[in-house]
Amino acid sequence: MTIHREGYKSIAIGTIIFVMLNLLFRWLFAASFPWLCLLFVIVTLGLLLFLVSFFRIPNRTLTIDEGKIICPADGRVVVIEETVDEEYFKTKRLQVSVFMSPANVHVNRNPIDGEVVYNKHHKGKFLVAWNPKSSTENERHSIVIKNGENEILVKQIAGALAKRIVNYAQVGQKVKQTNEFGFIKFGSRVDLLLPVGTKLQVELNEVVKGGVTVIGTL
């Protein structure tokens, strides 16, 4: 397991706060309530370790298959439905949404090989990620990857806790399946907009892994 570069600053700040709070707590209460100081260390250390876990990149064998659509994020499938995409396609698409909890890995990965033909950030609200309106009203970042006749829109959506979306893709960039294209700090949701008729290999409420689980067939 490694730590994502997006976490270096947050973990450093968290560590400084952890040390300062515990020194202050020890100075105030060590003489009278040593057990309370120990309890405070345990609780704050747990919070610090939880922060570190937000930015973990676990070692795993990624799925590479040119004919498959690979899941872009860890989490749980919360939406499978046909919808009209008003942003890019202007037609019906098959939407598959993966909810990322704070305990999930937060790296986002390319579902297919191809070229980035669209990249746009949208300012918006911070509704809870499972709200149906979050796909169109929340802070979000969309990219479209084109592979031959196939185009897939991947949408990173911020939520009530996730206040920062990081996206590394650029229009014209050639991308490789399962390579990292972004990061959502503290979880939220990733939507895939697929061609109608895509043969899915996941079900509603299924737990999925980014870069590993096959979403469907091109």
pLDDT single digits (tens) 152-186: 999 999 876 656 889 999 999 999 999 999 998 87
Residue 62 domain-assigned (yes or no): no
Catalytic residue among 97, 135, 142, 188: 188
Distance CA 74, CA 56 (A): 12
Residue 87 domain-assigned (yes or no): yes
Pair 40, 147 in one domain: no
Q: How many domains does the chain have?
A: 2
pLDDT single digits (tens) 75-95: 999 999 999 999 999 999 999
Domain end position, chosen among 11, 27, 57: 57
Pair 80, 157 in one domain: yes
Pair 45, 84 in one domain: no
Pair 156, 179 in one domain: yes
Pair 210, 149 in one domain: yes
Pair 76, 17 in one domain: no
Catalytic status, residue 188:
yes
> For position 4, what pLDDT does the model report?
87
Distance CA 195, CA 91 (A): 10
What global pTM score does this model have? 0.86
Selection from 83, 72, 34 nearest residue 154 by Cα: 72
Residue 198 domain-assigned (yes or no): yes
- Residue 61: DSSP 8-state: P
Residue 163 domain-assigned (yes or no): yes
For 143, the domain range is 68-217
